[in-house]
C-alpha cells in the first residue's frame, strides 16, 4: 500500500521558499507553516534580507600604467526569488564577476593620483553593475572601494614624499617663528633707543625679581 509522506516547512518573515513538484515550480511560499509532499517536492529557500558583497583585493592597472590593489564592498538584495534561483546557476557568482569586471574598468579610467585623492571615483560603477544583474532578480544598492593598497615601492615613495612635505612645512614654520622673534627684538631695541626712560624702568623691573643680580657700571652717570 502506497503511503504519502507529508512534512511541514516553516518559512520565516524574511524568507521566500520555492516549491518544486516533480521538477516543476508550483508556487512561492510566503511566511508561515506549510505542508508538502516530501517524496515529490523539493524546497528552495531564498533569504530576502539585504546582503553585503565583499570582493577581495585585486591587482589592477591605472590609466598611467601603475599597479593598484583594490578591494570592494557592495550592498544588494534579492527582489525576485524565482528569477534569482532559476536565472543562473549561481546568481551570486555572476554578481561577483560583474563587480570584478566593472572595477577593472573603473581603475583603468583614472590615474593613480586621481584615485588616491578621491576614492569615491570607484563608486561610479554602481549603476553599471545594477543593470547587468537586474535580470537575475537582484537589486544593487551601492558599490564602493574599501581598501586601496599600493605596491611596496610605491608605498615607500609615497611615504618619503609625505615626510619631505612635512619636513618642509616644519622648516617653514621655524623660519617664520625666527623671523617674527627678530622683528620683535628689532622693534623693542628701537623703542628703547628712542625712549631711554623705558630702558631704566625695565631694568628696575628686572632687578625687583627675586635672585636677580644687577651690576652697575661706575662709568655711567646716573
pLDDT lower than 70: segments of the chain = 1-2, 151-164, 166, 192, 198-209, 211-222
The grid cell for 2 is 502506497
- At residue 181's C-alpha, the angle toward residues 166 and 188, to 5°, is 170
| Measured torsion, CA atoms of residues 131, 137, 140, 141, in degrees rounded to the nearest 10 | 120
First vs last C-alpha separation in the chain: 136
pLDDT of residue 178: 80
Crossing angle for the helix pair 91-108 and 126-133, to the nearest 10 degrees: 150
pLDDT of residue 222: 46
Do 79 and 141 contact (CB within 8 A), yes or no?
A: no
pLDDT of residue 147: 86
Helix, strand, coil percent values for the chain (each to nearest 5): 45, 30, 25
The grid cell for 107 is 581603475
Amino acid at each position: 500500500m502506497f503511503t504519502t509522506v507529508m512534512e511541514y516547512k516553516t518559512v520565516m518573515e524574511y524568507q521566500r521558499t520555492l516549491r518544486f513538484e516533480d521538477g516543476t515550480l508550483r508556487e512561492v511560499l510566503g511566511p508561515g507553516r506549510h505542508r508538502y509532499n516530501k517524496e515529490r517536492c523539493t524546497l528552495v529557500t531564498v533569504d530576502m534580507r539585504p546582503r553585503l558583497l565583499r570582493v577581495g583585493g585585486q591587482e589592477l592597472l591605472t590609466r598611467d600604467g601603475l599597479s593598484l590593489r583594490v578591494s570592494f564592498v557592495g550592498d544588494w538584495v534579492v527582489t525576485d526569488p524565482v528569477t534569482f534561483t532559476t536565472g543562473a546557476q549561481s546568481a551570486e557568482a555572476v554578481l561577483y564577476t560583474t563587480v570584478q569586471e566593472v572595477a577593472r574598468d573603473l581603475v583603468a579610467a583614472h590615474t593613480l593620483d586621481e584615485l588616491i585623492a578621491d576614492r569615491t571615483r570607484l563608486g561610479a560603477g554602481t549603476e553599471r553593475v545594477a543593470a547587468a544583474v537586474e535580470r537575475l532578480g537582484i537589486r544593487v544598492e551601492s558599490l564602493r572601494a574599501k581598501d586601496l593598497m599600493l605596491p611596496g615601492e610605491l608605498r615607500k615613495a609615497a611615504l618619503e614624499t609625505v615626510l619631505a612635505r612635512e619636513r618642509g612645512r616644519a622648516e617653514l614654520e621655524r623660519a617664520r617663528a625666527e623671523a617674527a622673534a627678530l622683528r620683535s627684538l628689532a622693534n623693542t631695541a628701537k623703542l628703547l633707543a628712542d625712549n631711554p626712560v623705558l630702558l631704566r624702568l625695565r631694568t628696575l623691573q628686572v632687578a625687583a625679581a627675586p635672585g636677580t643680580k644687577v651690576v652697575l657700571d661706575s662709568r655711567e652717570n646716573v
